[in-house]
Amino acid sequence: MEFKITRDYRNELLSRRELYFTLSYEGATPSRAEILGKLGAMFDAKRELMVLDSMKKQFGKMELEGVARIYDTADDLAKTEREYLVKRSAEVKAEEAE
C-alpha cells in the first residue's frame, strides 16, 4: 500500500487539515480502517479526529483516489462534519476493537 499525497491543505477557518491522496495497492481494495490507520501513522493523528470522506476506484486499476480530513479537536469535528461520515468512522473504530 503506497500513498501519494496530491494535495495537503490547512483550512484554518474550519480547524482541519484536508488531504487528497492516491493510493496504490496490491490484491483486494484496502478497508476504511486500513486507510485511516496508515494515514494516522503518516501524519501522527488521533483516529477519533480523522474522517475518510470518499474513496473512488476505477475498474481494473489497482489504485484509488480519496479525501480525508484531520480535525484539531473533537468539537471542531462535531460542528462541521456530516453525521453519516462521523458514524462511518466510529464503525471503523469499533471494528478495530474486536
The cell for 2 is 503506497
Kindly report which listed range (17-26, 67-76, 85-94) carries the lowest average pLDDT score. 85-94
Which candidate, 12, 21, 3, places its Cα nearest to that of 68? 21
- What is the Cα gyration radius of the chain? 13
Print the domain residue range for 73: 2-97
pLDDT at 88: 84
pLDDT at 95: 58
pTM summary value = 0.83
Contact 22, 4 (CB under 8 A): yes
| CATH number of the structural domain spanning residue 64 | 3.30.70.330
Distances (CA, A) of 37 to 7, 14, 58, 59: 19, 23, 23, 25
Number of domains present in the structure of the chain: 1
